[in-house]
Every structure is written in structure tokens, then in C-alpha cells.
Chains A and B, each alone.
Chain A
Amino acid sequence: MIGLQESPEVAAAAAAPIAGGGNWTLHFLQGITPEAVPGWILPIVTASISVGVVIAMISVIAMLSVWLERKVSGHIQCRYGPMYAGGWHGWAQTIADGVKLLTKEDMVPSGADKPLFMLAPAIVLGAIFGAFVAMPLAPDYFFADINLGVFFILGMSSLTTIGVVMSGWASNSKWSLYGAMREAAQVVAYEIPLGISLMVALICAGTFNLIDASEAQRDFWGMGWFIFKNPFVIPAVVLFFVATLAETKRAPFDLPEAESELVAGFLTEYSGIRWSFFFMEEYAAMFLMSLVMAVFFFGGFESPVTYLAAESMGLGYDHLVTNLLGAVTLIVKSMMGVLLMMWIRWTLPRVRIDQVMTMGYKYLTPLALVCVLGAALWEAGKQAIL
């Protein structure tokens, strides 16, 4: 983890080449700082830089996703979507919207629980940014190499529910409260199949660490993805994807928001920058969940592209080019997941709350258990035979 290394070890690591993991930012800073600077400053500076990079990157990805969503929805409905702001196909539309939201009045409804009301968006956004700490940017560039990385990510992304429930309760509005109650019920129902279907991939990977899981799929021209590994992973991917839709409050499970029934659900009383925090959280969560899906089912950094760079061109897996290609691969895979979520959103109508519960408890959970059992037996059988 960044910022927690002792200075002698840091010095030793600085002497070693960048290859083999570690924190590039820290190495770089160690290379340029004069000796008079005390050693404990560097990890703090590194941590600040890393936080800045995470926030900047996630904000950019969220803004890009918002633009993409509008374009996708437009084209699915045979129209263009934003076309003017910024020139090329309205790429700057989200920036324009963001500026508009920033300049809006910061309103708290009378009768609202003001501290909770103001804290809720911060908790939601903070939790999702926290989850991104465990996200590896490239095979050798990460902010925190956590052994239980996927646990951390799922835990942090579930924390956003607390912010949502808090906002619903604090808004002093029946719509908000209904939205928050639905969110709570939905997350309780879908956390279970989400975790269990992910277990299938964890059985294949044998690790909770995202980077190790990605490395475990380095096979057959970078196509040794877990989805091809055994027949129980394919239904598990579908179950995981459906559960992530519910987890990120996306249609057809956008019951907490439900604009046709609950005005805007838990967002009803929010406006301006606080509302945009919730909005950003939604898109960041979509990206995060797609990223987990890409890492644990679709090969992570591994693809024929990275294979070509590393093996055929002889650069090796620690080379800068391989790392960059790996990062691009992962981001492209994650964006494909985000795109699929958008496609689903503009295809399916919203389901009823009892249907959501039925689907979560009666269908997804037992099927996920069957998948885990099958995958475990398959892997055990394979080991026994081979």
C-alpha cells in the first residue's frame, strides 16, 4: 500500500528497477528529491498525488460515460443526442452541464435534517472513490495492492447504500424515503447473488487480488479468460451482471430513482452540485462494477494485444508499453460493460419492486449457488483427473 512503506525499504526499492510492481510515483519522487527532505514526506505526497489521480480519472470517466449515455440513448431512439457543445458531437455537453450545476444555488429544504442531508452525497461519492483505490491502473501501476481487493471494492461500493438511505431519510420527503427504502431492500437482496456469482471467478482465480487474478488469465495468446475456463462461469457472468445492474441502481432496477413513480426517488430534494455528486457516483459505480467484471471474468489486462507486446515483440510483461496496453485493454473492456449497461437501460422497462425481490431471492441466489457448486466440482474434478 502506498504511504505505508518504511523509508529504508523505500530506499532499497528505489535502487531496484521499476519492474516487478511498486509505486511509480514514489520511485519518481525519490529520484528527484534532494536528501535534505525527510523520508516521511514522500509517502504523504505520493498518497496525495494518487488521490488526485484517482479523483481526476474517475471524474473524467464519469463525465465521458454521461456523454456516452446520452449519445447511446439518442441513437437507440433514432436521434442524435447532444450535437453542439464543444463542436464534435457535443463532447463538451457534460462539462457545460457540470458548470451549470456548480453555479446553482445550494438548497436544503426546510424540515430536512441538514447535517445528514449535506453529508449524504459526500459519503456516496467518497465511498465510490475509496473503492477505486483498490483498482489497478496497469499491471505495475496501482495505488493499493490489497490482498482482499475485491472484498474491499464490494464493501466500499455497498457503503454508498448508506449514503442513499441517509439522503432519503434526511430529505423529509415521502418520495425520497420510498426511494431509500427501495434501495435498501434491493441492495440487501442483490448483494448475495453478486458475491456468490463472483465466487465462481474466485474459485477459478484462487485469489482475491485483482492483479493476481488478471495474471492468472495469462494463457492462450492472452485469451485464457475465466469465462472460457469452465461451463459454469458463463451463467455466473450473466448473474453477476444482473446483480451489478441492481447494485448500481441502473434500469431495469432503478427503483430508488423511479422518475415515473417517485418524482426522482432519493434525489428528489437534491439540486446543483450535491445532485451531481449522486449522478457521478452512479456512473463511477457502473465503471467500477464493469471493471470488476472485466478483471474476474474477461481477462483483466490480458488480451491478444498485450500478449503480442509482451511475448511476440519480446518486451516482457514489466515493460512500460505492455503496461500501457494493459491499462488500455482494461479500460476498453470496462467501457464495453458500461455500454452494455446503457444498452440494457434503454431496452427494458423498469420492473416492479415485488418482481425485483422475486428475481433476487428466488432466481439469482439459487442459480448463483448452483453455479458455485458446479464450478467448484468442475475445478476439483479437473485437478483430480489431470
Chain B
Amino acid sequence: MSEQQLDLRAEEQARQPASIGDYFKNIWDAVTTTVAGMKITGRYFLQKPITVQYPDEQMPIPERYRGIHYLEQDKCIECNACARACPIDCIEMEAVRHGKELEWIKFTIDYQKCMFCELCVYPCPADCIHMGTEFAFVTEDRSEFNLDLLSYKGMSRDARIRMKEAAEKKAAKEAAKKAKAKAEAEKKAAEGGDTPSEDGGEEGTDA
């Protein structure tokens, strides 16, 4: 039916006086629809509320929830892969290398910028940065949103021990090498005592 026809029909209906049947039908409709609505609200009124009283109790957090990151600092190799992957460059890290060990200065994520996209997690070769479950983060100072994820600064005790051990090992190895070289030289000297010129040459390389 065209729009014009509909208009004409509506006009015709408007011109006709409402019948007494309509009057009682209106009353019936008013009563029944009100009762139907009140049944629904009454059912909701009697059921247990679905809201959770937040600070007292919490909804269970989904397994793959993306909250504030946590860093396994000991695994991290400061490769900057996460910082490069970050689309808004909110990750900054700084550490001094001592051979294999790292002396940490900072590893910050600016949560004023971070959009919790999880793109920093995938490229990590050491699998050391993860999305956490903490989401409530309130401070009085904006600068605190630039959160340092390091659990300690500088070197860890383990790293120090490892470094010391490595240094000792190296020293021991070198000493062993030296001793070996010396022993070999002595052996050579003992074997070919008739060649003093070679002996002298060897002593010269040692020095």
C-alpha cells in the first residue's frame, strides 16, 4: 500500500467515531498490560540481584584478561623487542650489560598511553612479559602511571654470584691454560735442550 493510501486510511479511521467496543477494549488492554508488566517486574524484584558489591566481592577474572603487565625480570634479556612492538611506544627499558648479566636501571610502561593490546607479549624471545589481572589502578599523581615494572634495581644477588663464579671460572681456566702452556714449554725444553735458540724464542712469546 502506498504512503498516500495509508494516509487516507488513517484519516478515514480518525473520522470514524470510536465504538463502544473500542472503549471497553482499551480498558481491558490497560488492565492486562499493566498486570503483565507488573508480573515481570515482580519476578525481577524477587530474584537475587545480579550485581556484585565490588570492593567486597569481585567477579572472577577471565583467564586471558589483559590487565597491568608483570615482568619476569630474571628471564628478561633486554632485547627491546617488546618496546619495538609497542604501537604507541610506551615501554622504555635501560640496563647495563656486564658480560651476560644485566644491571637494571629501569623498565617502565606508561599506563596513561598503554592500551593493553598485548602486542608486546608475543615478540618476547624469553617469554618474560605477560598481561596480569590487576585492573584497579588509582593514584593522585599522574606521574605514577608511568609504572616501573622492575622488582629490583641493579643486579640480582643470583646474577652477582653467577658473575663472580664466571669470573672465577675464567680465572681458573686461564690459570689452567697458563699452567698447561708452561708445562708444555718445560716439556719442550726438556726434549730439545740442544736448541737454545728455540727456547729463547719461546720465552719471548711467553712474555
- Whether A74 is near chain B, meaning CB under 8 Å from some CB there, is yes
When the two chains form their complex, are residues B37 and A348 in contact, meaning their CB atoms are under 8 A apart?
Answer: yes
Asked if B196 is at the interface of the complex by the 8 Å CB criterion, the answer is no
Tell whether A343 pairs with B44 under 8 Å between CB atoms, given A78-B51, A83-B53: no
Residues of A within 8 A of B50 (CB): 78-79
CB-based contact A347/B51 at 8 Å: no
Complex CA gap A346/B44 in Å reads 11
Q: Would you give the 0/1 interface string for B179-197, flagging 1 where the beta carbon is closer than 8 Å to chain A?
A: 0000000000000000000
Other-chain contact of A75, B30, B38, B40, B45 (Cβ < 8 Å)? B45
Measured CA separation A238–B38 after assembly (Å)? 15
Main DSSP-derived SS at the B contact region: helix
A80 at the interface (CB under 8 A from B): yes
Which residue of A83, A343, A367 contacts B45 across the interface (Cβ within 8 Å)? A343
Binary per-residue interface labels of chain B (18-29) against chain A in the complex, 1 for a CB within 8 Å, 0 otherwise: 000001001100
Instruction: State which residues 74-108 of A face B: CB under 8 Å.
Output: 74-80, 83
List of A residues within 8 angstroms of B51 by Cβ: 78-80
Minimum CB–CB distance from A246 to chain B (whole Å) comes to: 14
Contact of B143 with A by CB under 8 A: no
> Does A28 count as interface, using CB distance less than 8 angstroms?
no
CB-CB under 8 A from B47, the residues of chain A are 78
User: How many angstroms between the C-alpha atoms of A20 and B99 in the bound complex?
Assistant: 104
Tell me which residues across on chain A come within 8 A of B45, comparing CB atoms.
72, 75-76, 343
Is B17 close to A, CB under 8 A? no
Given contacts A75-B45, A78-B50, 4 further A-B contacts (CB under 8 A): A78-B44, A344-B34, A362-B23, A363-B27
Q: List 21 A-B contacts (CB under 8 A).
A: A72-B45, A74-B49, A75-B45, A76-B41, A76-B44, A78-B49, A78-B51, A79-B49, A80-B49, A80-B51, A80-B53, A238-B31, A343-B38, A343-B41, A344-B38, A347-B37, A347-B41, A348-B34, A362-B23, A363-B26, A363-B30
Closest to A81 in B: B49
Interface size, chain B (Cβ < 8 Å) = 18
In the complex, chain A residues 45-79 whose Cβ is within 8 Å of any chain B Cβ:
72, 74-79
Find residues 142-190 in chain B having any chain A CB closer than 8 Å to their own CB.
Answer: none
Q: In the complex, which range does the number of interface residues on chain A fall in?
A: 10 to 19
B199 to chain A, nearest CB (A): 94
B204 on the A face (CB < 8 A): no
Q: Give, as a whole number of angstroms, the nearest-CB distance from B101 to chain A.
A: 52
Residues of A within 8 A of B37 (CB): 347-348
B residues in contact with A77, CB < 8 Å = 44
Question: Is B42 located at the chain interface by the 8 A CB criterion?
Answer: yes
Give the Cβ gap from B48 to chain A, nearest Cβ, in Å. 8
9 closest A-B pairs by CB: A79-B51, A347-B41, A347-B37, A78-B50, A76-B45, A76-B41, A75-B45, A347-B38, A78-B49
Expressed in whole angstroms, the Cα–Cα distance for A343 and B45 within the complex equals: 9
> In the assembly, what is the distance between CA of A75 and CA of B23, in Å?
36
Q: In the complex, what's the smallest C-beta–C-beta distance from A328 to chain B, in angstroms? A: 24
Complex-state Cα separation, A120 to B50, whole angstroms: 42
Question: Looking across the interface, which residue of chain A has its beta carbon closest to that of B56?
Answer: A83
For A358, give the chain B residue with the smallest CB separation. Answer: B26
Closest to A362 in B: B23
* Inter-chain contacts of A72 with B (CB < 8 A): 45
Residue of B nearest to A79 (CB): B51
Give A346's nearest chain B residue, CB to CB: B41
Query: Measured between C-beta atoms, what is the minimum distance from B39 to chain A in Å?
Result: 9
A367 to B27 Cα, complex, angstroms: 10
Give chain B residues whose Cβ lies under 8 Å from the Cβ of A367.
27
Q: How far is the CB of B19 from chain A (nearest CB, A)?
A: 14
Give the complex CA separation of A74 and B40 in angstroms. Answer: 15
* Contact residues in B for A344 (Cβ distance below 8 Å): 34, 38
Whether A75 contacts B44 by the Cβ 8 Å rule is: yes
How many Å from the CB of A68 to the closest CB on chain B?
12
Closest to A72 in B: B45
Q: What CA separation (Å) do A347 and B45 show in the bound complex?
A: 11
How near does chain A come to B37, taking the closest CB pair, in angstroms? 5
Instruction: Give Cα A75–Cα B41 distance, bound, in whole angstroms.
Output: 9
Residues of A contacting B23 in the complex (Cβ-Cβ under 8 angstroms): 362
Return A254 CB to nearest CB of chain B, in Å: 16
Q: How far is the CB of B7 from chain A (nearest CB, A)?
A: 21
A144 CB to closest chain B CB, in angstroms? 37
Interface residues of A in 339-386 (CB under 8 A from B): 343-344, 346-348, 362-363, 367
Q: Which residues from B are CB-within-8-Å of A343?
A: 38, 41-42, 45
Q: For residue A344, give the distance in angstroms from its CB to the closest CB of chain B.
A: 7
Q: How far is the CB of B99 from chain A (nearest CB, A)?
A: 57
Cα separation A77 to B42 with both chains bound (whole Å)? 10
B38 to chain A, nearest CB (A): 5
Pick the most buried of A76, A83, A346: most chain B CB atoms within 10 A of its CB. A76
Tell me the A250-289 residues at the B interface (CB within 8 Å): none
How far is B41's CA from A348's CA once the two chains are assembled, in angstroms?
Answer: 10
